Amino acid sequence: MAFVTRQFMRSMSSSSTASAKKIIVKHVTVIGGGLMGAGIAQVAAATGHTVVLVDQTEDILAKSKKGIEESLRKVAKKKFAENPKAGGEFVEKTLSSIVTSTDAASVVHSTDLVVEAIVENLKVKNELFKRLDKFAAEHTIFASNTSSLQITSIANATTRQDRFAGLHFFNPVPLMKLVEVIKTPMTSQKTFESLVDFSKALGKHPVSCKDTPGFIVNRLLVPYLMEAIRLYERVSDGDASKEDIDTAMKLGAGYPMGPFELLDYVGLDTTKFIIDGWHETDVKNPLYQPSPCLNKLVAENKSGKKTGEGFYKYK
C-alpha cells in the first residue's frame, strides 16, 4: 500500500510539474491586419515564428502584406548594408513565414498564441474571443494588444482566464523595443512567464504591468498629452501656441516629438477614445477631463496624419 501511495504521489508530482511548464510559442495567430497587427506579425515572423495574419477581407490582408514587405526591405537595407543578397533572403524567408486568412476560427486550432489587435471596442473584442475560445487548443494563450481597455473585462468572455493576458506593443512595432505584459488576477504564472519569454524572443524588452487603466506608458503619457491640449486651449490667455509647446518639449525635455506631433501620429480619435473611457470610470479625476478642442477635431474627421490633418496639416 505504501509503495502504491508513493507511486501515486510521484505520478501526481510529475503531472503537476508538466502542467506548470511554460509554453514555448512557435506558432502565432495575429487578429487584425492594421498597423499594429501587421507590425506584430512582422517581428514574429522575422524571429523564426510561424504566423497567420487574420482580417476580414483579402484586400485588407493584401495591403497588410505589402506594408510588411516594404517595412522588411527597410530593415534589410540597414541590417544587411554590406550584404544585399543576405538582405533579400531575409525578406523572402520572413514573408514565407506569414500566411493570411479571413477565417480566424479555422486557424486557431493549432496555434500557441493568439494576439488580438483589432478596434478598441470591448463588445467586439469579447465577441471575437468568445468565438475563438471554442476552437482554440487547450494550451493556447490569448492576448490582447489593447492600449486602454481592462484585460480582465476581455478575458471574462472566455473560459480560459488563466491563459489570458495583455501584450501591449508600441508603434511602430518593428522599431519600438518595449512590450507591456499585463497580468490579471486570474492570469497564471505559467502564462505570464510564457509571454515574457515570447517578448524576449522577438527582441523586445518586456515590463510587467497590473491590469489598471493605461498600464504604465499610457497612464503617464495620455494625461501629459491632454495637459498639452489644455495649455493650448488657453492660448487666448497667452499661455503658448502648439508650435511653441512642441518646440519646448523637444528642446527642453529632450523628447523626440512634441505632444501635438505625437497626438497627430497616434491619432486624435485614439486619444479621445482612451480619455473618454477613463472619464466614464472616474468622472471627478481632473486628469481625465475631456477636451472641447480634441472633440471638435475628431468630429470634423481631423484625426492626425492618417486623415491628412489634425493639429497640423499633412500633404
Three-state SS at 113: strand
Q: Any binding-site annotation on 22? A: no
Residue (of 124, 119, 112, 154) closest to 21 by Cα position: 112
> Can you read off the three cell numbers belonging to residue 30?
495575429
Beta bridge partners of 142: 114, 164
- 147 classed as catalytic: yes
Q: Any binding-site annotation on 126? A: no
Q: Any binding-site annotation on 294? A: no
Q: Any binding-site annotation on 37? A: yes
Q: Any binding-site annotation on 254? A: no
Q: Any binding-site annotation on 295? A: no
- The single residue of 148, 168, 194, 261 carrying the catalytic annotation is 168
CA atoms within 13 A on the CB side of 46: 25
CA atoms of 33 and 55, how far apart (whole Å): 6
184 in Cβ contact with 156 (< 8 Å)? no
- The single residue of 97, 144, 145, 147 carrying the catalytic annotation is 147
- 218 classed as catalytic: yes
Q: Any binding-site annotation on 78? A: yes
Distance of CA 151 to the CA centre of its chain: 12
**What residues contact residue 213 under an 8 Å CB cut-off, 6+ apart?**
148, 150, 219, 277, 278, 281
CA atoms of 33 and 108, how far apart (whole Å): 16
CA atoms of 149 and 215, how far apart (whole Å): 10
Q: Any binding-site annotation on 34? A: yes
Q: Any binding-site annotation on 35? A: yes
Beta bridge partners of 116: 31, 144
Which strand (E) or helix (H) includes residue 100?
Answer: strand 98-101
CA atoms of 27 and 110, how far apart (whole Å): 8
CA atoms of 297 and 287, how far apart (whole Å): 20
- 301 classed as catalytic: no
Relative orientation angle of helices 259-266 and 217-233, to the nearest 10 degrees = 120
Q: Any binding-site annotation on 239? A: no
- The single residue of 116, 144, 180, 188 carrying the catalytic annotation is 180
Q: Any binding-site annotation on 306? A: yes
CA atoms of 164 and 157, how far apart (whole Å): 11
- The single residue of 97, 145, 218, 303 carrying the catalytic annotation is 218
Q: Any binding-site annotation on 302? A: no
Three-state SS at 53: strand
Which strand (E) or helix (H) includes residue 181?
Answer: strand 178-183
- 180 classed as catalytic: yes
> Can you read off the three cell numbers belonging to residue 117?
489587435
Task: Mark the binding-site residues for CoA, compressed into ranges.
Answer: 71, 78, 147
**What residues are annotated to the active site?**
147, 168, 180, 218
Task: Mark the binding-site residues for NAD(+), compressed into ranges.
Answer: 32-37, 55, 120, 125, 147, 171, 306
Task: Mark the binding-site residues, compressed into ranges.
Answer: 32-37, 55, 71, 78, 120, 125, 147, 171, 306
